[in-house]
Amino acid sequence: MRRVTHIAVAATAAATLALTAAGCGDSSSTSGSGGSEGGKDGGKGAALAFDIGGRGDQSFNDAAYAGLERAKKELGDKGKYFEPTEGESDADKVQRLSELARAGHNPVIGVGFVYSKAISEVSKKYPKTTFGIVDDAEAKGKNVANMLFHEEQASYLAGVAAATTSKSKTVGFVGGVETTLIKKFEAGYVQGVKDTDPKVKVVKKYLTQPPDFSGFAKPDLGKEAAGGQLDQKADVIYHAAGGAGTGVIEAAAGAGKWAIGVDSDQYQQKTLAKYKDKILTSATKNVSGAVFNLIKSVKDGKPQSGEIRYDLKQGGVALTDTNPAYTKMTDVVKAVDKAKAAIDSGKITVKDKP
């Protein structure tokens, strides 16, 4: 008896859903023809398309957003940003970017390499729109600007700073998600440490594996990993873990050891004010500047295109010196300056793969 009810309920459930769906279709087609078409009111300005876990990662997505905000303030841009839904494919990204270009947004910027395929496809369909992509050189086109960063160079300097600061001769590296991009940070850092003092040991840990990107978002994972490295006697820990890095900084500072920040100057971040004395320095990556530059170039009528490389020499990546405790350690500063000069002059080439 019970089973019959089950099936009856299920079947009728299905039927009702069908009916309601059909009902929706009816009413909308009549109202749709007269009503406004979604997204076509031509809200000009830049458009940022994020990846999953985009805005609010306290890392490079937020930096891109900051670039947009700055453009809004200084250039009066009416830009918007868009986030994806979980489980979507390239087709959704193509549709989203097409929609943005069609609505008149310019430039349209994909934040992160996942937009590569979509940008190369859509940029051909909308040759008058400038497209930007961060961290990818695969998507090519006359109207595509590839914003690339030499993270490994700043990470090299972080390695030099860590190796010269360390007393225990052990330093740590915490990567958020084990992606090719984060491995660039690791490669530069390890090379910097080893070039400074081959005897210094580097302990490494990645928080998660793709496609699990929570390693950029969960501070507890960072805290745990840093705790493990502190137990292994690491006394300077560099993180490239986005939002999860706050846990690394918390753990290191809590133990009275040094942390090295990433992406933006974390010494000046309000949320980390409690630990800032122990944030030795930060390896910055000026995504916000890159996004701003692209928007500005479009506004000025001279849109950027092709590969735009942000390196140590022109300041696209850098190592900060805002912490007075850092500038007081003159030997460390001297070693870092020397390494920077060597990279700038091309005497040292930093590897981008471990």
In the complex, the residues that contact another protein under the rule CB under 8 A are 3-18, 20-21, 24, 27-29, 31-32, 35-39, 80, 82-83, 85-92, 94-96, 98-99, 103, 113-114, 116-117, 135-138, 146, 178-181, 209-212
Which residue, 143 or 179, is less far from another protein as judged by CB?
Answer: 179
Which residue, 42 or 324, is less far from another protein as judged by CB?
Answer: 42
Which residue, 23 or 315, is less far from another protein as judged by CB?
Answer: 23
Least distance (Å) between residue 157 CB and another protein: 22
Which residue, 126 or 326, is less far from another protein as judged by CB?
Answer: 126
d(CA 82, CA 96): 9
Least distance (Å) between residue 105 CB and another protein: 10
Least distance (Å) between residue 207 CB and another protein: 12
Least distance (Å) between residue 89 CB and another protein: 5
Three-class SS of residue 53?
coil
Q: Could you tell me where the DSSP H helices lie in 255-323?
A: 287-299
- Residues 221-227: contacts with CB within 8 Å, 24+ apart? 221/247, 222/174, 222/176, 222/246, 222/247, 222/248, 222/251, 223/247, 223/248, 223/250, 223/251, 224/251, 225/174, 226/172, 226/174, 226/250, 226/251, 226/252, 226/259, 227/251
Which residue, 114 or 295, is less far from another protein as judged by CB?
Answer: 114
Least distance (Å) between residue 12 CB and another protein: 3
Sorted by sequence, the CB contacts under 8 Å of residue 284 that are 6+ apart come out as 154, 262, 263, 264, 265, 317, 318, 319, 320
Least distance (Å) between residue 189 CB and another protein: 17
Which residue, 179 or 229, is less far from another protein as judged by CB?
Answer: 179
Sorted by sequence, the CB contacts under 8 Å of residue 125 that are 6+ apart come out as 98, 101
